[in-house]
Amino acid sequence: MTSPIPLRLALVMAGGVAGTAARIGLGLVLPTAAGSGLGAVPWATLIANIAGAFLIGVLAARLPGSSAMRVLLGTGVLGGFTTYSAFAVGTVTLWHANPLLAAAYAVGSVVLGIGAAAAGLDWARPRSTRTQAHG
């Protein structure tokens, strides 16, 4: 059942507030250090994006695309929690200090994010579907 547009918008906004606050909290717990070594890697962004990709995969496998819960949790909370802009800025900032590490971070983030989304889809898929998909 499709939610009316104002309700869907309110769900995305409320979820986005919660997800963004969670990402900021993670950034406060795992701040990025200055320098050019592994401490300069934006770990909070990497963790948020990989965990968020996994959870978005779980939601995609379990909730219908038009459900209010998927809009709230997927588009809202996890959309606010994961962030491409912070990933891009973190990569460019790291590039200035250590281009090789920045390239590894960028490629690793994308590969790990896709892998996490695939793992979330596979893990959350109902058993009968999972058995059919794997032969």
The pLDDT assigned to 117 comes to 96
Q: Report yes or no on 127 lying in a domain.
A: yes
pTM metric for this prediction:
0.85
The pLDDT assigned to 134 comes to 57
Task: Tell whether 2 is in a known binding site.
Answer: no
Residue 93 belongs to what domain range? 5-28+38-133
Q: Report yes or no on 53 lying in a domain.
A: yes
Task: Tell whether 79 is in a known binding site.
Answer: yes
SS (HEC) of the chain: CCCCHHHHHHHHHHHHHHHHHHHHHHHHHCCCCCCCCHHHCCHHHHHHHHHHHHHHHHHHHHCCCCCHHHHHHHHHHHHHHCCHHHHHHHHHHHHHHCHHHHHHHHHHHHHHHHHHHHHHHHHHCCHHHHHHHCC
Q: Report yes or no on 33 lying in a domain.
A: no
Provide block-wise average pLDDT over 10 residues at a time, the chain (135 residues): 82 97 95 83 95 96 89 95 93 94 96 97 82 56
The pLDDT assigned to 79 comes to 94
The pLDDT assigned to 135 comes to 54
Total domains in the fold of the chain: 1
